[in-house]
Amino acid sequence: MFNSLKSPIFLKSTSNAELQLQKLYEIEPKLNPEGKALIQQDIKFLEYGIAGEKNVAFELKNSGMPMYILHDIYLTDGDLSAQIDYMVFTRKLCFVIECKNLFGNIEINSTGDFIRSMSVGGKIRKEGIYSPITQNERHLQVIKKVKAESRNNFLTKFLTERYFDSFYHSVVVLANPRTILNAKYAKKEVKQKVIRADQLISYIKEANSQSKESNSSDNNMKEWADSFLQLHKEQTCDYTAKYEKYYIANQTSTVASDPV
């Protein structure tokens, strides 16, 4: 009766990709033709990925659901790390979202392989791609370990690990509206983890309605999201290093002095 939240709130909306893209924009004019060709390709891929994440953000912002959202969360545990596109916290569940803005159409076969079909020069070319389901499952393992190790005592660590699967759901979202998903022969457990962006809110609502967990309060929901925001590690990467050999000679000193 004390819950007043009626719409989604982004506790973190920025992304590392946007920072990286800005850095690439800044150094592009300082590169020779070969370097410009390379960086323009990297910029294209970054822009495409960011556009896909914005499609997902649009769906979440317009869901009309009470939820807290974290965008681009980076967690580490020793040599393990996970860069998570979205973590969405509802009153019952946390959805760990891997966003894929892929060219072409996607088929998932009976063995769980992801096959992309693209039209190249008037011909259809097919190629296998790394399973985003496997990628996101690895993210969940890092989340589980980091969360358990953040607990203060053995009992809370045990409970976190014991009931983790009841509260955390992995979902791969295909963000390109033109992509056709063919999962006719995929296993049921695979079909349930791959959806289009326009299906995301229906998916979240359905998963919540089927969950047997009790509804949490607004405060508990926010504390849950905040606990991961506190575990987030800011990445300190030199996005310009790979382009150093392409600097125009009289621009080298200027680039070297740019802050990272």
In angstroms, the CA 129 to CA 120 distance is 17
In a domain, 79, yes or no: yes
Flag whether pLDDT at 95 surpasses 50: yes
Whether residue 259 is contained in a domain is answered as no
> Confidence class of residue 259 from pLDDT cuts 50, 70 and 90?
very low
| Dist CA 139 CA 93 (whole Å) | 16
The answer to whether residue 2 sits within a structural domain is: no
Nearest to 148 by CA among 226, 35, 227: 227
In a domain, 3, yes or no: no
The answer as to whether 255 is a domain residue is no
Alpha helices in the chain (DSSP H): 16-27, 33-61, 132-149, 154-162, 164-167, 188-191, 200-210, 218-231, 252-256
Does 30 reside within a domain?
Answer: yes
Residue 134 lies in a domain: yes
CB 184 within 8 A of CB 162: no
Q: pLDDT tens-digit profile of 143-193?
A: 999 999 998 888 888 888 999 999 999 999 999 999 999 999 999 999 999
- Domain containing 212: what range? 8-247
> Does the residue 1 lie in any domain?
no
Reported as a single tens digit per residue, the pLDDT across 111-148 is 999 999 998 888 899 999 999 999 999 999 999 999 99
State the angle between helix axes of 200-210 and 33-61 in degrees (0 to 180), rounded to the nearest 10. 50
Per the structure, the count of domains in the chain is: 1
